[in-house]
Copies of this chain bind each other. A is one copy, B any other.
Amino acid sequence: MDGRAIGVFDSGMGGLTTVRELIRRLPGEDIVYFGDTGRVPYGGRGAETIIKYARQDVAFLRTFDLKAIVIACGTVSTTALDVLARENPLPVIGVVEPAARAAVQATKTGRVGLVGTKATIASGAYERTLRQMLPTVQVTARACPLFVPLVENGRYRPGDALVDLLVEEYIAPIKAAGVDTLVLGCTHYPLLAEAIGAYLGPDVTLISSGAACVDTVARLLEEGDMTCGKADGGVHRYFASDSAADFGALASIFLGQDIQGQAQQIAIEEY
């Protein structure tokens, strides 16, 4: 039994969709979450800035005694995972490899779609990983720069004209390519899954990158004999770099449970 916590971070609230899945799958684990709400969104920023921010996020998390760090952020996973894994003597798990593996297992035609932030698509990390696993894969990738602001403003429900318009604009070329699997390469996007699924139809499998990486975390802990499994459930702590009250008020959308009053604000630029 390993009582150390799992550290999880994201540019903002999106990573809470991964925490939700983590709590469901590993209810006995302690979790420390940091959302960089004071500097969200990362996806349109330059690679150097993203790496700087990600290093600070990890430095803050490591003020706790951790057994693993989960990068619950597509942008950081595609831009800074190598740097973070090299610099930190504990397992650092990103979303790319787990989501690519799930996509390769799901696709029958070998035609896979990919959506993510500008930085994620520009990195080419998903395409490279998919191609290593399935050399014949045909990837249709599309940057969706306005999806994160949309979701962070609570706009993600199908039937919302703005949501439907942007889903059609971004996903049309992916639909036209006839994919049978779509990787949601940003942890904000599971909230848009219903709208995207309605547009693509039931024959396209949607892969949530955050949920996929929870499989990897669970396997890692089991294989390394590092599970905790507290009988009365793990302790979950939440930190943000902008107002803790705002974080608490919005978190339930992503997390599926109310944590108002439980979040704390920290000054991330000091790490």
Contacts and interface: CB of A to CB of B under 8 A. Distances in A.
Contact of A242 (B38, B46, B242): B46
A48 B246 CA distance: 12
Interface stretch (A57-65, A149-157, A225-233): A149-157
Contacts of A48: 243
Given A38-B39, A49-B243, A162-B165, 12 more contacts: A38-B49, A44-B152, A44-B153, A45-B242, A45-B243, A46-B245, A48-B243, A49-B242, A145-B149, A146-B146, A146-B162, A162-B169
B153 A46 contact: no
A195 interface: no
A173 to B, nearest CB: 16
A166 interface: yes
A176 interface: no
Contacts of A1: none
Nearest to A150: B146
A46 B243 contact: yes
A269 interface: yes
Contacts of A243: 45-46, 48-49
B44 A38 contact: no
Interface in A221-255: 241-243, 245-246
Given A146-B150, A150-B146, A45 B38 contact: yes
Nearest to A166: B162
Given A162-B166, A165-B165, A166-B162, A246 B46 contact: yes
A165 B161 contact: yes
26 contacts: A37-B45, A38-B45, A38-B49, A39-B39, A44-B152, A45-B242, A46-B242, A46-B243, A46-B245, A46-B246, A48-B243, A49-B241, A49-B242, A145-B149, A145-B153, A146-B149, A146-B150, A146-B153, A146-B155, A146-B162, A162-B162, A162-B165, A162-B166, A162-B169, A165-B165, A269-B269
